[in-house]
Amino acid sequence: MLASQVADAPATRMNLNYARYVDKWVGLVVCLTLFALERALAPLTGRRLPALFATTPPPLDGVRPAPRRVLCIKFYGLGNVVMLLPVLQALREHFPAAEIDFLTLADNVPLLERSGAVTQALGVDVGTFPRFLSSLAATLRQVRRRRYDTVIDFEQFVKISAVIGFLTGARERMGFNTDGQRRGFLYTTRVVYTDSEHTSALFARLLRPFGITGALPPASLRVETTERQRVRDFLAGAGVEAERFPVVVVHLGIGMNFYRMPLKRWEPGNFATVADGLIERHGAAVVFTGQGREERALIAEAQRRMRHPAIDACDRFAVTELAALVEQCHFVVTNDTSVMHLAALMDTPVVALFGPTAPLHYGPRGHHNLVFYRDLYCSPCLTNYNLKVSRCLDPVCMRGIRPEEVLTAITERYLGETALYRDWLRGRAERAASAA
């Protein structure tokens, strides 16, 4: 599905702030009810289940049987799914005979299907509340028919995933026992959530009950030749010659915003200043990417503030085509959002701007990135312990990152005559083009 086909969907989308409120309180009642029901039926099934607040440490001499059919669950958002790909690949390599399905939001399905790490991807539509209910009901029927023996719930705090995991009928249910979120009791194996490591490593904790530890394998995304060619044609049509250096993708959006103000978003004027500086100092071709009405408006505002023309690619590419674009560019300048993780997946350097979230948890993976983060005493204010809810009204963490600071760092690291990664950067893009 092309991005332009869902470009204006946010105007009619389900209110996700309200959905999170319902999940928090109604979900708690549902989880407790299901917990009580399972315990009441335990004598009939002969199952030994952990108590309400018990931990579930591994047995000293026990060996967990290999799963036959696994359902993994993670809904929002695309960046989290990208960070999960190495974890899914590790699961696939450890249990090559297992069927591994993944339940997520419908928009994430194409990326998972191209990853090669899952047997099939199932999508839930959150376009509107009626569509969500209809999609959820159909999904529940489908997962019941699949007869999973194991569920791995990668959600950190929402309760609906724990409920769905229960309703699959799987005997083994693994998930995070996140402090304060009152959901871990619905799992048969409760994994401690920690805020002291990167999210990809956190997700990997859910593989430890299987004995899967150590470094994660590399993940990949299959990009079709036709998608790479479409990107080349688009750039050529915009006047960007094949040997142009550098070609820079700039992403102004932050995905869905749940707060009174867009806390994670750097101002369009700052992006405009950086884009102008890259064009004036280094002859860059700047490509703005985005999706939907709000990001289209952000790009228009940035372009109005610029002294030089830039390329508007908003709503032009599906997610796999966007992957082909960031693969062919030299680096990406972006807020903390899914495009950052997509670029890292394609081994493209990222200039990432962080404020209310911490790079420790969500930073781009790789060795050639530039990350800006002020680490104020009030940061990070968006964590899984507080359900990613912040009441900040003055995001100085983002406003305090200055465009000239970003430009100077880019010059020193990537584009200056003596820049550390200048030759590597040029060669990386050329290798990507030849491989295509």
Mark whether 55 and 194 lie in a shared domain: yes
Based on the domain organization, do 129 and 275 belong to the same domain?
no
In a domain, 361, yes or no: yes
Pick the last residue of a domain from 159, 179, 210: 210
Between 261 and 268, name the one with better pLDDT: 268
**Amino acid symbol at 141:** R
Name the residue with tokens 């893009």.
429
Q: What is the pLDDT of residue 54?
A: 94
Q: Reply yes or no on whether the pLDDT at 279 is more than 70.
A: yes
| Residue 7 pLDDT class (50, 70, 90 cuts) | very low
Q: Mean per-residue pLDDT for 111-124?
A: 96
Average pLDDT over residues 397-410: 97
**Residue 330 lies in domain:** 225-435
Mean pLDDT of the chain: 92
Q: What string of H, E and C letters represents the secondary structure of the chain?
A: CCHHHHCCHHHHCCCHHHHHHHHHHHHHHHHHHHHHHHHHHHHHHCCCCCCCCCCCCCCCCCCCCCCCEEEEECCCCHHHHHHHHHHHHHHHHHCCCCEEEEEEEHHHHHHHHHHCCCCEEEEECCCCHHHHHHHHHHHHHHHHHHCCCEEEECCCCCCHHHHHHHHCCCCEEEEECCCCCCCHHHCCEEECCCCCCCHHHHHHHHHHHHCCCCCCCCCCCCCCHHHHHHHHHHHHHCCCCCCCCCEEEEECCCCCCCCCCCCCCCCHHHHHHHHHHHHHHHCCEEEEECCHHHHHHHHHHHHHHCCCCCEECCCCCCHHHHHHHHHHCCEEEEECCHHHHHHHHCCCCEEEECCCCCHHHHCCCCCCCEEECCCCCCCCCCCCCCCCCCCCCCCHHHHCCCHHHHHHHHHHHHHCCCCCCHHHHHHHHHHHHHHC
Averaged pLDDT for residues 127-149:
93
The CATH code of the domain that includes 286 is 3.40.50.2000
Please check whether residue 217 lies inside any domain of the structure. no
Task: Answer yes or no: is 3 within a domain.
Answer: no
Asked if the structure places residue 219 within a domain, the reply is no
Domain co-membership, 170 together with 253: no
pLDDT at residue 64 is higher than 90: no
pLDDT at site 255: 79
Domain count for the chain: 2
Are residue 241 and residue 183 in the same domain, yes or no?
A: no
> Tens digit of pLDDT for each residue in 336-357?
999 999 999 999 999 999 999 9
pLDDT at 58 over 50: yes
Answer yes or no: is pLDDT of 266 > 90.
yes
Banded pLDDT at 389 (limits 50, 70, 90)? confident
pTM above 0.75, yes or no: yes
Residues 155 and 303 occupy one common structural domain: no
210, 244, 261 - which closes a domain: 210
Q: Is the pLDDT of residue 6 over 50?
A: no
Q: Are residue 91 and residue 159 in the same domain, yes or no?
A: yes
Establish if 69 belongs to a structural domain.
yes
Residue 218 counted as domain residue: no
389 and 245 in a single domain? The answer is yes
Do 364 and 302 share a structural domain? yes
Residues 198 and 230 in one domain: no
User: Is 266 domain-assigned?
Assistant: yes
Q: Inform me whether the pLDDT recorded for 107 exceeds 70.
A: yes
Confidence check: pLDDT of 1 > 60 = no
- Which of 186, 210, 234 is the endpoint of a domain? 210
Pair 334, 256 in one domain: yes
